Amino acid sequence: MENVQVKTGPKDVFLHLLAIIALYVSTGSFIALLFQYINVYLPDKAVDQYYSLQSAYASMRWSIALLFVVYPVYVWASWFLNKEYKIEPQKKEMKIRKWLLYFTLFATALLIIGDLVALIYSFLQGELTARFLYKILAVLLVAAIIFKYYLMDLKNSAPYKIFAYAVSVLVALAVIGGFFVAGSPQEARLRHFDDIRAQNLQEIQSQVVYYWQQKGVLPQNTAALKNNDINIFIAPLDPETGAPYAYTVTGVLSFSLCANFALPSLPDQTTRYAPMPVKPYGIDGIAQNWEHPAGNICFERTIDPDFYKLPEKTR
């Protein structure tokens, strides 16, 4: 029986490239999603703070978006190629396919080797934490599955349907779980508004302190910050309703700032399992706390004259 020479056309090249690129992007997104699960549920007190948790949620949403779009592309491209292989088995011998398969095996082999090196090094350094170990195992497991499947594919014995169904279930579970952990799009929008409110209050507070430093008295209202002859400042408004924030002078050196928050703030990762304080903390010098429950919350602030010293008048 004569061997039939199959020519590689543009469609074959682009389909194989599409499938392999979609595979790499989906794999990276899946591993990144697993990493963020680990970051959320195994916080590191040395590095994780409030904004680390926000960053983890944002990374989870980005990984979910990539998987939601790119992974179906990979499944479709692989399905289409396998359909072509059944019609023309000779296409499995195309150079573009062999090159991409061998490159994938090479890349996953390097990933597994680097993963094991990092594991052994961390063990020898005494820095093998549970968080790092789970990340190492996540990379090792994903890379090993890909290496095994494409090694079988190179030998034309890969169980495509079993692999597709099993991986699709894992990806679906990871994506669905991400929605529960990171929150819904509506919750993300409300939290974004709350972050802007907290930033606005901090900005107003800074201007109030600056006003006191320059004039020795607290401004009676936020309009005084706009109309003073030292610094022109327009107090920001609530980003959702456009209402002004409540500013009240409560003493010679004390004042309060109030805003209506939609959601409780994300607590510090290192203390998020502790009960959230009912009221925000005050400040002593530079120490501040902007954690808040939902609702109309006021932050009581007192200026420390020893810390915020008045500038000496020049003669």
Region 25-51 average pLDDT: 81
- In angstroms, rounded to a whole number, what is the distance separating the alpha carbons of residues 219 and 229? 13
SS (H, E, C) the chain: CCCCCCCCCHHHHHHHHHHHHHHHHHHHHHHHHHHHHHHHHCCCCCCCCHHHHHHHHHHHHHHHHHHHHHHHHHHHHHHHHHHHHHHCHHHHHCHHHHHHHHHHHHHHHHHHHHHHHHHHHHHHHCCCCHHHHHHHHHHHHHHHHHHHHHHHHHCCCCCHHHHHHHHHHHHHHHHHHHHHHHCCHHHHHHHHHHHHHHHHHHHHHHHHHHHHHHHCCCCCCCHHHHHCCCCCCCCCECCCCCCECEEEECCCCEEEEEEEECCCCCCCHHHCCCCCCCCCCCCECCECCCCCCCEEEEEEEECCCCCCCCCCCCC
- Percent of the chain's residues with pLDDT above 90: 41
**Inter-CA distances, 181 with 60, 71, 119, 222, Å:** 9, 21, 28, 39
Provide the pLDDT confidence category of residue 232 given band limits of 50, 70 and 90: confident
- In angstroms, rounded to a whole number, what is the distance separating the alpha carbons of residues 79 and 261? 48
Residue spans per domain, the chain: 10-183, 186-302
278-288 in b/e form (b: 16+ CB < 10 A) is eebeebeeeee
Give backbone dihedrals phi and psi of 283, rounded to 5 degrees, phi first: -125, 145
Can you give the pLDDT at residue 303?
A: 86
* Per-residue pLDDT tens digits for 182-212: 888 888 899 889 989 999 999 999 888 888 8
Region 231-253 average pLDDT: 88
* Per-residue pLDDT tens digits for 281-303: 333 333 457 888 889 999 999 88
* Per-residue pLDDT tens digits for 77-101: 999 998 988 888 888 888 888 999 9
Write down the pTM of the prediction: 0.72
